[in-house]
Amino acid sequence: MTAYLDTAQGRRIAYVKTDGAEGYTGPTILFLSGLKSDMEGTKAVALEAWAKEQGRAFLRFDYSGHGVSSGEFRDGCIGDWHEDTLEVVDKLIDGPVLAVGSSMGGWQSLLLARARPNRVMGLVTIAAAPDFTEDGYWAGFSDDQKAELEREGFLSIPSDYDEDYIITKRLIEDGRENFVLRSPLKLDMPVRFLQGTEDEAVPTAQAVKLLEHAEGEDIRLTLVKGADHRFSDDECLRTIQKMVKVVLSRAAS
């Protein structure tokens, strides 16, 4: 059942929380969705069903401006959604967290691990897109688009997945305040990055860049040949489950 959290920033965040089986003391698996995605996405719902079968605690939620949470997408930015994530972790979850982040949610999971290193016991990312506001959007804008963004405060960008994205000047500028690839990124926990080789939104080279940049003793990148950015067919879903199990076992050892 969907519940709501009123945050310190005045936002209303929708979430679904599943408690672990009686006596469960392990981490809560926290799913972090991608840009303009929500907690009803295929990966979030499938992983929740798997967690229930395993008797594990699980939480999925909608960032502000996404799904059924308050706000408009165009008014949000990376920092706002990071605040939402911290509120969810600090107010709704007791104990350790295993963060599973998809696309922009991968960036959010890295920000979470940096902000709450004592809470995050492991990470699994799926087509992680850290710093994409700069390396994807800004780097790909023409001079005319950059001028329009400066003049109008926003751009409309076609999307392969949904209605056009409204990319605001605030989103770009705030992204620069939340970079994780331009300063040291220590991940002192088990980390598994997943990436499809046919991903047209996040190139494989970006996944390799993240792997090379992150500092930690237990970090692995798995490339899945033929998988695209959605990473949500049956085989990909089983791969996500497998990596969650790997991280759980590594953290427990």
Distance CA 222, CA 239 (A): 10
Q: Based on the residue annotation, tell me whether 103 is a catalytic residue of this protein.
A: yes
Distance CA 11, CA 30 (A): 19
Cβ-contact 27, 71 below 8 angstroms: no
Tokens 């999307």 locate to 159
- The active-site residue, picked from 102, 103, 109, 232, is 103
CB atoms within 10 A of CB 48: 20
DSSP string, 184-214: -EE--S-EEEEEETT-SSS-HHHHHHHHHHE
Q: Based on the residue annotation, tell me whether 199 is a catalytic residue of this protein.
A: yes
- The active-site residue, picked from 80, 131, 135, 199, is 199
Distance CA 140, CA 155 (A): 13
Distance CA 233, CA 183 (A): 34
CB atoms within 10 A of CB 9: 11
Q: What is the dihedral of CA 240, 57, 93, 174, to 10 degrees?
A: 20
Q: Based on the residue annotation, tell me whether 229 is a catalytic residue of this protein.
A: yes
**Residues labelled catalytic:** 103, 199, 229
